């Protein structure tokens, strides 16, 4: 299950493990992922996994399991319905319900995964009869073949592009640029042929048209009588390659041969175009075009430029930039410095499972640093996409290896405490407050050692680490007392914090007003 989650979401195994909710009273939800708020909505991915030992008997995904998940969706996403779920799932559901209560719209994808075949007609009937809006709930099948495809390295794509009308080609600064337009049907066929292999350099995941306002507008334009002006409405597609060639004696309608083609901006537009064109074959798209920018960039010296182009051309959208920033000099310096202190800093995602004790993912480091040393716990939890986006400089500037490691050790300890269901009845905030707890504990740690953050360097690292490991239980008790005092000020009697609705409690840690009572 963990491998399926990691492969589908394109995340580390450690991150996927934290999403697992499988167990007794899991309501058919084996794992659940809630994304950041995007405009007025947010994405949720629900996983249900099955493993068949005898594929000769029945290898189809079980229809009754689909029915069970459908029933769970009807309960989870209606904040007015009472539910009882296990201690791993319930806090995550309350976070989701809290967002819904605040007016955010969930866009749900149900991923059914097994080692056999897709569900049969009975499963289709359950989905059809669910009554869920098609633009809000999607059902996806994902099996071992998809996992293998996700793990395998991709080969370069050599293709031919048919440009329409006049195009512009220019050489400058030892680079080549080609600007033209391509028919949306040709672009859809290209994407259908190569699928996400075209997006290897563009690490942004595609959002269904219902989960992204821009994608929805692209679809609506293509279906409207304004579609012939689509070229002027859309920002276009940015592609890179190692080489392109065409017949320069031809005045227009160039046929361009391209080696190692990749799309680094416009991937979401491409997929929206693909789905819209294929779902509406009766519409005439013969005069509907999209702008194409093709850059010939090859060699190791071009890698920094490719990174810069990808980041800047995607700056108006939220997407996971972690792998791109992995090439940043700051990340490389942190990796070297962290290694010197006995840990391994994983700058970018790979398919290697390392020891959790000594391996630090850059994504985890970003959450820990932003929560603890930059004192933004509410943003670290609910704006994760931005940690390697608009928050990147604020997260990593002026941070050294010692500060990074200590932050991660604190973060991990608080996250471990969060999972202890025995604490839930005594301290109802525990399932939701770990980012705030980590921040408070970091402050207490420095105060106990009479250190300021700038003095937490490699020379003080072992002393700080030893003190933390020796006193972390006591630090946790003091941290908890400080947080309880702040919560009781925020929610005074008679409606004290432990009596408020769990959805409201979850929302408390999504806002910054609690910080006023912790200063």
Domain limit, last residue, from 107, 132, 151: 151
pLDDT at 204: 45
Which residue, 352, 242, 363, is CA-closest to 297? Answer: 242
Residues 119 and 233 grouped into a single domain: no
Residues 242 and 300 grouped into a single domain: yes
pLDDT at 202: 47
Residues 487 and 338 grouped into a single domain: yes
In the structure, what pLDDT confidence band is assigned to residue 208 with cuts at 50, 70 and 90? very low
**Strand, coil or helix: what is 138?**
strand
Query: Do residues 381 and 367 make contact, with C-beta atoms less than 8 angstroms apart?
Result: yes
In the structure, what pLDDT confidence band is assigned to residue 121 with cuts at 50, 70 and 90? very high
| 483 within some domain | yes
User: In this predicted model, what pLDDT tens digit does every residue of 79-117 receive, in sequence order?
Assistant: 888 888 888 888 999 999 999 988 888 989 999 999 888
The CATH number linked to 21 is 3.40.91
| 324 within some domain | no
User: In this predicted model, what pLDDT tens digit does every residue of 281-335 receive, in sequence order?
Assistant: 999 999 999 999 999 986 554 456 666 666 555 544 444 567 767 778 899 999 9
Average the pLDDT over 65-86 and give the result. Answer: 89
| 348 within some domain | yes
In the structure, what pLDDT confidence band is assigned to residue 212 with cuts at 50, 70 and 90? low
Domain limit, last residue, from 296, 319, 342: 319
pLDDT at 318: 40
| 220 within some domain | yes
Residues 6+ apart with CB under 8 A from 228: 287, 288
Residue 268 confidence (pLDDT) above 90: no
Q: What is this structure's pTM? A: 0.74
User: In this predicted model, what pLDDT tens digit does every residue of 2-21 receive, in sequence order?
Assistant: 888 888 887 888 888 889 98
Residue 464 confidence (pLDDT) above 90: yes
Which two structure tokens, joined as six digits, stand for 473? 């239980």
Residues 265 and 313 grouped into a single domain: yes
pLDDT at 500: 85
Phi, psi of 515 (to 5 degrees): -60, -30
Q: How many domains does the chain have?
A: 3
pLDDT at 165: 95
**Look-up of token digits 């337009």:** 181
Residues 116 and 34 grouped into a single domain: yes
Which residue, 452, 322, 442, 475, is CA-closest to 375? Answer: 442
Average the pLDDT over 475-499 and give the result. Answer: 89
| 267 within some domain | yes
**Look-up of token digits 């319930």:** 90
pLDDT at 424: 86
| 464 within some domain | yes
Please give the mean pLDDT across all residues of the chain. Answer: 86
In the structure, what pLDDT confidence band is assigned to residue 354 with cuts at 50, 70 and 90? low
Determine the structural domain holding residue 390 and report its residue range.
329-517
SS (H, E, C) 451-484: CCHHHCCHHHHHHHHHHHHHHHHHHHHHHHHHHH
User: In this predicted model, what pLDDT tens digit does every residue of 174-199 receive, in sequence order?
Assistant: 679 999 999 999 999 998 888 777 87
Residues 456 and 400 grouped into a single domain: yes
**Strand, coil or helix: what is 405?**
helix
- Regarding predicted confidence, which is higher, 402 or 387? 402
| 107 within some domain | yes
| 434 within some domain | yes
Residues 24 and 130 grouped into a single domain: yes
Domain limit, last residue, from 151, 185, 211: 151
Residues 185 and 137 grouped into a single domain: no
- Residues linked to residue 293 through DSSP beta bridges, in sequence order: 179, 238
What distance lies between CA 133 and its chain's CA centroid?
Answer: 24
Residues 250 and 397 grouped into a single domain: no
Residues 370 and 487 grouped into a single domain: yes
Residues 354 and 460 grouped into a single domain: yes
Residues 337 and 265 grouped into a single domain: no
């Amino acid at each position: 299950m963990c491998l399926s989650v990691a492969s589908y979401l394109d995340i580390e195994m450690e991150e996927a493990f934290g999403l697992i909710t499988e167990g007794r009273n899991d309501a058919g939800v084996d794992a659940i992922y809630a994304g950041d708020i995007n405009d007025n909505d947010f994405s949720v991915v629900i996983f249900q996994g099955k493993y068949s030992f005898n594929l000769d008997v029945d290898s189809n995904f079980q229809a009754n399991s689909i029915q069970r998940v459908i029933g769970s969706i009807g309960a989870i996403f209606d904040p007015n319905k009472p539910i009882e779920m296990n201690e791993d799932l319930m806090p995550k559901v309350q976070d989701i319900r809290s967002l819904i209560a605040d007016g955010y719209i969930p866009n749900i994808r149900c991923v059914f995964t097994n080692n056999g075949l897709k569900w049969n007609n009975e499963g289709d009937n359950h989905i059809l009869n669910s009554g869920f809006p098609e633009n809000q709930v999607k059902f996806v099948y994902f099996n071992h073949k998809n996992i293998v495809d996700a793990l395998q390295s991709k080969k370069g794509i050599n293709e031919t592009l048919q440009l329409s009308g006049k195009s512009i080609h220019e050489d400058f600064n030892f680079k080549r640029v080609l600007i033209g337009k391509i028919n949306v049907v040709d672009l859809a066929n290209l994407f259908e042929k190569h699928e996400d292999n075209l997006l290897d350099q563009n690490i942004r995941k595609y959002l269904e048209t219902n989960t992204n306002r821009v994608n929805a507008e692209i679809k609506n334009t293509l279906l409207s009588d304004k579609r012939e002006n689509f070229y002027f409405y859309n920002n276009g597609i940015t592609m890179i390659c190692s080489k392109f060639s065409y017949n320069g004696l031809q005045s227009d309608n160039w046929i361009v041969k391209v080696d190692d083609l990749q799309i680094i901006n416009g991937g979401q537009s491409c997929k929206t175009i693909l789905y819209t064109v294929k779902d509406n074959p009766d519409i005439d798209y013969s005069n509907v075009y999209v702008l194409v920018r093709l850059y010939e960039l090859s060699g190791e010296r071009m890698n920094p430029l490719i990174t810069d182009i990808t980041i800047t051309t995607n700056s108006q959208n939220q997407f996971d930039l972690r792998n791109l920033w992995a090439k940043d000099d700051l990340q490389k310096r942190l990796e070297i410095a962290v290694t010197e202190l006995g840990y391994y800093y994983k700058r970018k995602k790979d398919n290697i499972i390392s020891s959790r004790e000594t391996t630090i993912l850059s994504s985890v480091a970003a959450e820990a640093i932003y929560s603890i040393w930059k004192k933004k716990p509410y943003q670290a939890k609910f704006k994760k996409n931005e940690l390697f986006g608009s928050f990147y400089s604020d997260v990593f500037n002026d941070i050294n290896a010692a500060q990074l490691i200590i932050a991660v050790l604190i973060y991990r300890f608080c996250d471990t405490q969060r999972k202890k269901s025995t604490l839930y009845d005594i301290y109802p905030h525990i399932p939701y407050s770990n980012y705030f707890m980590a921040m408070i504990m970091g402050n207490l740690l420095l105060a106990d050692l009479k250190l300021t953050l700038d003095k937490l360097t490699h020379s003080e690292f072992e002393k700080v680490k030893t003190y933390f490991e020796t006193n972390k239980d006591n630090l946790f008790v003091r941290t908890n007392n400080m947080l309880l005092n702040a919560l009781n000020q925020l929610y005074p009697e008679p409606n004290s914090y432990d009596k408020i609705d769990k959805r409201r409690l979850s929302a408390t840690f999504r806002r910054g007003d609690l910080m006023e009572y912790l200063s």
